[in-house]
């Protein structure tokens, strides 16, 4: 049975956009391309649809639609196209597609959704082109399509010994009508999907070729940098920039307002400071020097003064003058979190069950704000001339950025060209494209191409941060140590981390989930596995402590609950599949030899479901001089079909290390609205020595359509870490970053 | 502004810049050798690592005026065809995620292996500890350094 194809006959070139862009102001000639790729370039290309073109020599170029932030979609997405096209992967060149909403859907890097949502469309693009090539060959030979076979881009006829390569028939195939229905392969016929293919940019990365936004240069381009308020809650008052303007290489100093009050904002228009000072000059170092010579006066925001009056009842905030402090945040969260909050889900009679409980276990957990700290700081190139805007750089949400530029600068959408560079990390930070708008506004004002560059300090203190969160869990036990009720009450600094319908909801008769928030003027946003990145670790620590209280093995305890959720689920909206959840726990138990043998290592286990994938982890560590030494993490992952196994493994390793690093070491704290960490000397990130010595990754093989991997390995490992630290030290840790608790130097 | 003559990747080059300009920005802004990355500017992350007479140094900390006739090697000049044993090991292990930190990691590893051709795991961890990888490719980096140590032509 064929499937309806939604591939249109729109070509990328037809959209009026130039494919690709040249780095460093000089185009890449055919010769360079051939040398670099080790393959001969064709004389002519034939574009069969917006996703691919075929050269007259059989070389295929596949456009990777989604932004590449290190999740490796630039390799795995084209693999899906190549699979259905039936070509030799060695003859494939991958290029980053520009933003094009006519050809592509959802050109976003976020929510671990690229592969899941591209699974059908990308294969369809390959299958559609394959069908067109076959139709053209059948017409040429005057035989029915059903008598043709394809292997590695070579079409053959079963009734004769005729063969023809894709490159030779591509010219004719272009004129074939785009089929309305195509067939997709059976999983068992996959030749590329499920095999490890190396990162298509790896050679360029290890030889230092230009790839990232910060690497983009153009002749007569200027460098722009910003000066932002020193504290959240402050705004620009006035400045003296006269001497800075006289400094060598400095072109201008002015202020911009990125988001005027009357601008209709897009979802992605989130930024810490709308009005900033801008310094423009010939080179980065000159601009950096000039920034120091500018004297800026800042003021408390007027709305803050008003807010403080309204917040009369919140003495803590008032005492800080509206400029926020982390220690006050923690106190406020503990206070608000101890009260009755907004009920999000209730099953059974939790209140009665708690009243009748023989024992109640209650624990509270909290975490600090986090900065994303992408290794490549925020930056963007903009060239706004008259009614046109050309933009090049790292952005996870190019489509939103295009709309925002349209609204902010009044440039027609079809005159805005956005090219995506490889990104030096994303982690959610580059979902918020205020820096794209800033770059465009600056370029328009200067009437010149500019590259906006954030220093590390700008990047860290001008964040859209992971919020500080707090959660309280309560469990009711009867006289026989049976779990009778469960209560979760979660909130945070202006966002709640609660997922009311996730495990253990559905597994407990009496269940109550509540949610609250505390207002704050600190900008927050998505950070790798939003909300899950905190709540998973807290929940999985609590379940560990609860299992111990009940005298049960922590894995058995979870499996019992999942069994209940599978056979006789409580409530209706449980958003996980208990069988798949149990599957990763069983896999990690079996692979780790859980409960068998003796070891000098302390072990912790954890499992979580988010972004459509299931991950269970077991972590082994020892603690020496209050420093954890992590020997091993064993991971079991169910993300359905694994498209590119070794790259998927890399992603799980990275997510695991990232989770450990942030749970153990990282925090961004505030004093009087001022971020207390502004570079890697004060903001601690995990380093080589602190990373696990070994990470084992096991995938569940179940043939289910693939789901994401960028986020799911991160959240649970923090629980495994907390539980292992407890085994090693005898002390439960409730507050992140764990190292401060371990070493007893947590300031608040 | 003053003129400085530099030897970078075996070539004689001259730039006209302020004498305090860090080598990092001379390489990137003026010589368009962008493989050397900016990560922190304060000697904390290692993204800007280059070789000065074969030793790994942080180019964000080196004023151009102090380079003098010392030989600078950047990732672009580490090998003729991108086939230095460390680069090859990186490809074999498919180390990069976002890739941004990797040229600094490679430059640190290449200099380290010259001084210690058969390092232990602990020695690798210590040698690489100054290079942050925000994506968390540490286990692969370690494996790649080990592979490179076995494959290097001494
Ligand atoms: S940029 Fe030089 S060490 Fe970070
Ligand atoms: S690979 Fe992204 S920072 Fe290392």
Confidence of residue A309 (pLDDT cuts 50, 70, 90): low
| Residue among A180, A111, A16 at smallest CA distance from A611 | A111
Closest ligand to residue A212's CA? 2
CA distance B68 to B47: 23
Ligand 1 contact via B60 beta carbon (within 6 Å):
yes
| Number of domains forming the structure of chain A | 3
| Domain shared by A273 and A167, yes or no | no
Does the beta carbon of A26 lie under 8 angstroms from any beta carbon of chain B? no
Last residue of a domain, one of A426, A453, A480: A453
Does the beta carbon of A267 lie under 8 angstroms from any beta carbon of chain B? no
Nearest CA in chain B to A223: B29
The percentage of chain A sitting over the pLDDT mark of 70, rounded to a whole number, equals 92
Residue A337 domain flag: no
Residue A272 to chain B, least CA–CA distance (Å): 20
| Contact map slice: A 677-736 vs B, CB within 8 A | 679-681, 685-689, 691-695
Domain boundaries, position A38: 3-202
Lookup: tokens for A390: 């050309």
Is the CB of residue A31 less than 8 Å from the CB of residue A12? no
Ligand 2 contact via B99 beta carbon (within 6 Å):
yes
CA distance A191 to A92: 15
Does the beta carbon of B146 lie under 8 angstroms from any beta carbon of chain A? no
Query: What pLDDT score does A308 carry?
Result: 53
Is the CB of residue A132 less than 8 Å from the CB of residue A179? yes
Q: Which domains does chain B have, with CATH numbers?
A: 2-78 (3.10.20.30), 85-151 (1.10.150.120)
Does the beta carbon of A223 lie under 8 angstroms from any beta carbon of chain B? yes
Residue whose CA lies nearest to ligand 1 atom number 3:
B43
Query: Is the pLDDT reported for residue A630 higher than 70?
Result: yes
Angstrom distances, CA of residue A696 to CA of A301, A617, A718, B83: 51, 10, 17, 29
CA distance A174 to A177: 8
Give the three-state DSSP class for A279. Answer: strand
Query: Could you tell me where the beta strands, DSSP code E, fall in chain B?
Result: 2-8, 11-17, 49-52, 55-58, 71-73
DSSP 8-class letter at A306: H
ipTM of model = 0.98
CA distance A632 to A73: 27
Confidence of residue A24 (pLDDT cuts 50, 70, 90): very low
Is the CB of residue A472 less than 8 Å from the CB of residue A514? no
| CATH label of the domain that carries residue A62 | 3.30.365.10
For chain A, what is the largest distance between any 2 Cα atoms, rounded to a whole number of angstroms?
Answer: 88
Separation of CA A348 from chain center = 37
Angstrom distances, CA of residue A685 to CA of A368, A526, A572, A659: 14, 19, 41, 11
| Domain shared by A514 and A434, yes or no | no
| Domain shared by A149 and A231, yes or no | no
Residue A695 domain flag: yes
Query: Is the pLDDT reported for residue A321 higher than 90?
Result: no
What value does the mean pLDDT of chain A take?
A: 92
Angstrom distances, CA of residue A393 to CA of A21, A233, A236, A376, A437: 11, 29, 28, 11, 12
Query: Could you tell me where the beta strands, DSSP code E, fall in A460-559?
Result: 469-477, 483-493, 510-518
Ligand 2 contact via B138 beta carbon (within 6 Å):
no
Which phi and psi (to 5°) does residue A631 adopt?
-80, -50
Is the CB of residue B137 less than 8 Å from the CB of residue A72? no
Check B98 against A423: CB less than 8 A apart: yes
DSSP-derived pairing of the beta strands A359-367 and A469-477: antiparallel
Query: What pLDDT score does A41 carry?
Result: 86
Over residues B32-83, the pLDDT tens digits come to 999 999 999 999 999 999 999 999 999 999 999 999 999 999 999 999 999 9
Over residues A702-715, the pLDDT tens digits come to 999 999 899 999 99
| DSSP notation for A388-456 | EEEEEE--S-HHHHHHHHHHHH---GGGEEEEEPB-S--TTGGGSTHHHHHHHHHHHHHTS-EEEE--H
| Domain shared by A75 and A160, yes or no | yes
Query: Using N-to-C axis directions, what is the helix angle for A554-567 and A532-549, rounded to 10°?
Result: 110
| Domain shared by A176 and A220, yes or no | no
Structure pTM?
0.95
Residue B121 to chain A, least CA–CA distance (Å): 9
| Domain shared by A636 and A561, yes or no | yes
Q: Other CB atoms closer than 10 Å to residue A330's CB: what's the count? A: 20
| Domain shared by A12 and A136, yes or no | yes
Going from the Cα of B149 to the center of ligand 1, the distance in angstroms, rounded, reads 25
Last residue of a domain, one of A171, A202, A233: A202
Angstrom distances, CA of residue A722 to CA of A49, A173, A496, A606, A645: 51, 59, 22, 9, 29
Last residue of a domain, one of A202, A228, A246: A202
CA distance A525 to A540: 24
CA distance A383 to A360: 62
Is the CB of residue A584 less than 8 Å from the CB of residue A614? yes
Does the beta carbon of B100 lie under 8 angstroms from any beta carbon of chain A? yes
Buried b vs exposed e over B68-98: b needs ≥16 C-beta within 10 Å? eeeebbbbbbbbeebebbbbbbbbebbbbbb
Going from the Cα of A216 to the center of ligand 2, the distance in angstroms, rounded, reads 19
Check A207 against B82: CB less than 8 A apart: yes
For chain B, what is the largest distance between any 2 Cα atoms, rounded to a whole number of angstroms?
Answer: 46
Q: Other CB atoms closer than 10 Å to residue A198's CB: what's the count? A: 18
Instruction: Mark out the alpha helices in A568-713 (DSSP H runs).
Output: 578-592, 645-664
Q: How many CB pairs under 8 A join A and B?
A: 189
Query: What pLDDT score does A113 carry?
Result: 81
Check A658 against B135: CB less than 8 A apart: yes
Query: Is the pLDDT reported for residue A734 higher than 70?
Result: yes
Query: What pLDDT score does A748 carry?
Result: 37
CA distance A628 to A607: 21
Spatial CB neighbours of B120, under 8 Å, sequence gap ≥ 6: none
Which phi and psi (to 5°) does residue B102 adopt?
-70, -30
Lookup: tokens for A553: 């093995």
| Residue among A113, A119, A68, A61 at smallest CA distance from A92 | A61
CA distance A596 to A590: 10
| Domain shared by A655 and A680, yes or no | yes
- Select the residue from B139, B147, B148 to test the A interface by mutation, using most A Cβ atoms within 10 A: B139
Query: Could you tell me where the beta strands, DSSP code E, fall in A101-145?
Result: none
For A206, the closest of B82, B125, B128 (CB atoms) is: B82
Chain B contact set for A688 (CB, 8 A): 124-125, 128-129, 131, 138, 141-142
Going from the Cα of A591 to the center of ligand 2, the distance in angstroms, rounded, reads 29
Signed CA dihedral, A120, A125, A128, A129: sign only: negative
Over residues A50-96, the pLDDT tens digits come to 899 999 999 999 998 888 898 899 999 999 999 999 999 999 999 88
Instruction: Mark out the alpha helices in A603-644 (DSSP H runs).
Output: none
Angstrom distances, CA of residue B139 to CA of A632, A732, B93: 11, 28, 10
Ligand 1 contact via B47 beta carbon (within 6 Å):
yes
Query: What pLDDT score does A15 carry?
Result: 37
Does the beta carbon of A221 lie under 8 angstroms from any beta carbon of chain B? no
Chain B contact set for A422 (CB, 8 A): 98-99
| Domain shared by A123 and A256, yes or no | no
> To the nearest 10°, the Cα dihedral for A342, A348, A351, A356?
-160
Residue A418 to chain B, least CA–CA distance (Å): 20
Over residues A492-540, the pLDDT tens digits come to 998 999 999 999 999 999 999 999 999 899 999 999 999 999 999 999 9
Nearest CA in chain B to A689: B125
| Domain shared by A386 and A409, yes or no | yes
Signed CA dihedral, B36, B42, B46, B49: sign only: positive
| Domain shared by A134 and A195, yes or no | yes
Residue A348 domain flag: no
Residue A529 domain flag: yes
Confidence of residue A16 (pLDDT cuts 50, 70, 90): very low
For B40, the closest of A72, A456, A689 (CB atoms) is: A456
Which secondary-structure segment (H or E) carries A502? none
With 0-12 / 13-18 / 19 or more C-beta atoms within 10 angstroms meaning exposed / middle / buried, residue A268 is buried
Residue A104 domain flag: yes
Which phi and psi (to 5°) does residue A112 adopt?
55, 40
Buried b vs exposed e over A662-684: b needs ≥16 C-beta within 10 Å? bbbbbbbbbbbbbbbbbbbeebb
Query: Is the pLDDT reported for residue A635 higher than 60?
Result: yes
| Domain shared by A293 and A159, yes or no | no
Ligand 1 contact via B134 beta carbon (within 6 Å):
no
Ligand 2 contact via A205 beta carbon (within 6 Å):
no
Does the beta carbon of B49 lie under 8 angstroms from any beta carbon of chain A? no
Query: Is the pLDDT reported for residue A22 higher than 70?
Result: no
CA distance A134 to A140: 10
Is the CB of residue A95 less than 8 Å from the CB of residue A102? no
Query: Is the pLDDT reported for residue A148 higher than 60?
Result: yes
Nearest CA in chain A to B78: A207
Ligand 1 contact via B46 beta carbon (within 6 Å):
yes
- Select the residue from A208, A222, A659 to test the B interface by mutation, using most B Cβ atoms within 10 A: A208
Ligand 1 contact via B130 beta carbon (within 6 Å):
no
Mean of the pLDDT values across residues A113-134? 91
Query: What pLDDT score does A313 carry?
Result: 53
Does the beta carbon of A646 lie under 8 angstroms from any beta carbon of chain B? yes
Confidence of residue A34 (pLDDT cuts 50, 70, 90): low
Ligand 2 contact via B101 beta carbon (within 6 Å):
yes
Does the beta carbon of A356 lie under 8 angstroms from any beta carbon of chain B? no
Mean of the pLDDT values across residues A156-178? 94
Query: What pLDDT score does A26 carry?
Result: 39
């Amino acid at each position: 049975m064929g499937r309806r194809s939604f591939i249109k006959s729109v070509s990328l070139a037809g959209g009026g956009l130039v494919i690709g862009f040249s780095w460093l102001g000089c185009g890449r000639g055919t010769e360079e391309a051939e040398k670099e790729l080790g393959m001969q370039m064709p004389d002519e290309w034939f574009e069969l649809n917006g996703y691919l073109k075929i050269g007259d020599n059989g070389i295929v170029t596949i456009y990777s639609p989604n932004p590449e932030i290190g999740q490796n979609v630039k390799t795995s997405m084209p693999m899906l196209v190549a699979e259905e096209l039936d070509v030799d992967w060695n003859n494939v060149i991958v290029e980053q597609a520009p933003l094009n909403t006519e050809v592509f859907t959802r050109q976003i890097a976020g929510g671990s959704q690229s592969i899941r949502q591209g699974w059908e469309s990308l294969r369809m693009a390959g299958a559609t082109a394959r069908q067109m090539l076959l139709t053209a060959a059948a017409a040429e030979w005057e035989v029915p399509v059903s008598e043709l076979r394809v292997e590695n881009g070579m079409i053959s006829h079963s009734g004769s010994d005729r063969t023809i390569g894709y490159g030779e028939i591509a010219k004719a195939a272009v004129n074939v009508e785009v089929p309305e229905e195509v067939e997709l392969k059976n999983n068992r016929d996959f030749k590329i999907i499920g095999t490890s293919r190396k990162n298509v940019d790896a050679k360029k990365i290890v030889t230092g070729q230009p790839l990232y936004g910060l690497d983009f240069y153009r002749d007569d381009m200027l460098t722009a940098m910003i000066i932002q308020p020193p504290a959240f809650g402050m705004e620009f008052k006035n400045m003296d920039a006269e001497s800075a303007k006289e400094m060598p290489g400095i072109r201008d100093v002015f202020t911009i307002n990125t988001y005027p009050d009357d601008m209709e904002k897009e979802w992605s228009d989130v930024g810490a400071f709308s009005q900033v000072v801008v310094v423009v000059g010939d080179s980065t170092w000159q601009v950096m020097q000039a920034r120091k010579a500018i004297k800026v006066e800042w003021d408390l925001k007027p709305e803050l003064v008003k807010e403080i009056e309204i917040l009369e009842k919140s003495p803590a905030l008032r005492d800080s003058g509206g400029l926020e402090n982390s220690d006050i945040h923690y106190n406020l969260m503990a206070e608000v979190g101890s009260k009755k909050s907004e009920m999000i889900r209730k099953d059974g009679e939790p209140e009665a069950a708690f009243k009748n409980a023989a024992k109640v276990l209650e624990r509270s957990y909290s975490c600090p704000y986090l900065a994303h700290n992408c290794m490549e700081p925020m930056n963007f190139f903009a060239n706004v001339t008259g009614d046109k805007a050309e933009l090049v750089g790292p952005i996870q949400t190019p489509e939103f950025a295009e709309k925002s530029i349209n609204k902010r600068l009044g440039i027609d959408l079809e005159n805005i060209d956005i090219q995506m560079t490889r990104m030096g990390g994303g982690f959610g930070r580059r979902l918020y494209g205020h820096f794209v708008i800033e770059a465009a506004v600056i370029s328009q004002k200067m009437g010149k191409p500019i590259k906006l560059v954030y220093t590390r300090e700008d990047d860290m203190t001008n964040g859209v941060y992971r919020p500080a969160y707090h959660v309280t869990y309560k469990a009711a036990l009867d006289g026989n140590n049976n779990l009778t009720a469960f209560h979760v009450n979660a909130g945070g600094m202006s966002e709640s981390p609660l997922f009311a319908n996730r495990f253990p909801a559905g597994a407990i008769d009496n269940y109550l989930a509540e949610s609250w928030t505390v207002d704050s003027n600190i900008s927050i946003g998505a950070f790798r596995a939003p909300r899950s990145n905190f709540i998973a670790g807290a929940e999985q620590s609590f379940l560990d402590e609860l299992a111990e209280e009940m005298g049960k093995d922590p894995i058995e305890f979870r499996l019992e609950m999942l069994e209940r959720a599978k056979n006789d689920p409580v409530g209706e909206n449980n958003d996980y599949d208990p069988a798949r959840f149990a599957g990763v726990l069983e896999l990690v138990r079996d692979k780790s030899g859980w409960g068998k043998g003796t070891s000098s290592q302390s072990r912790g286990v954890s499992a979580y479901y988010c972004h459509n994938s299931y991950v269970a982890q077991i972590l082994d560590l020892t603690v020496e001089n209050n420093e954890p030494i992590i020997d091993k993490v064993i991971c079991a992952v169910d993300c359905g079909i694994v498209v590119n196994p070794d790259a998927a493994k890399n992603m799980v390793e990275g997510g695991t290390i990232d989770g450990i690093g942030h749970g153990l070491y990282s925090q961004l704290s505030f004093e009087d609205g001022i971020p207390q960490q502004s570079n890697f000397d004060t903001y601690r990130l995990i380093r080589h020595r602190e990373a696990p010595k070994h990470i084992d990754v096991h995938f569940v093989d179940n043939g289910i359509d693939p789901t994401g991997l960028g986020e799911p390995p991160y959240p649970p490992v923090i629980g495994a870490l907390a539980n292992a630290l407890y085994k090693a030290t005898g002390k439960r840790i409730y507050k992140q970053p764990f190292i401060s608790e371990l070493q007893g130097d947590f300031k608040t | 502004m003053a003129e400085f003559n530099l030897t970078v990747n075996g070539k004689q080059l001259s730039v006209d810049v302020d004498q305090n300009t860090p080598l990092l920005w001379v390489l990137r802004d003026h010589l368009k050798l962008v493989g050397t990355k900016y990560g922190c500017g304060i000697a904390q992350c290692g993204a800007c690592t280059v070789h000065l007479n074969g030793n790994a140094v942080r180019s964000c900390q080196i004023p151009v005026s102090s380079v003098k006739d010392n030989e600078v090697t950047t990732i672009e000049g580490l090998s003729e065809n991108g086939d230095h044993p460390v680069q090859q090991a990186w490809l074999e292990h498919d180390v990069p995620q976002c890739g941004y930190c990797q040229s600094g990691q490679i430059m640190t590893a290449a200099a380290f292996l010259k001084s210690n051709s058969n390092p232990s795991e602990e020695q690798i961890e210590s040698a690489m500890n100054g290079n942050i990888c925000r994506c968390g490719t540490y286990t692969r980096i370690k494996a790649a350094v080990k592979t490179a140590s076995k494959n290097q032509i001494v």
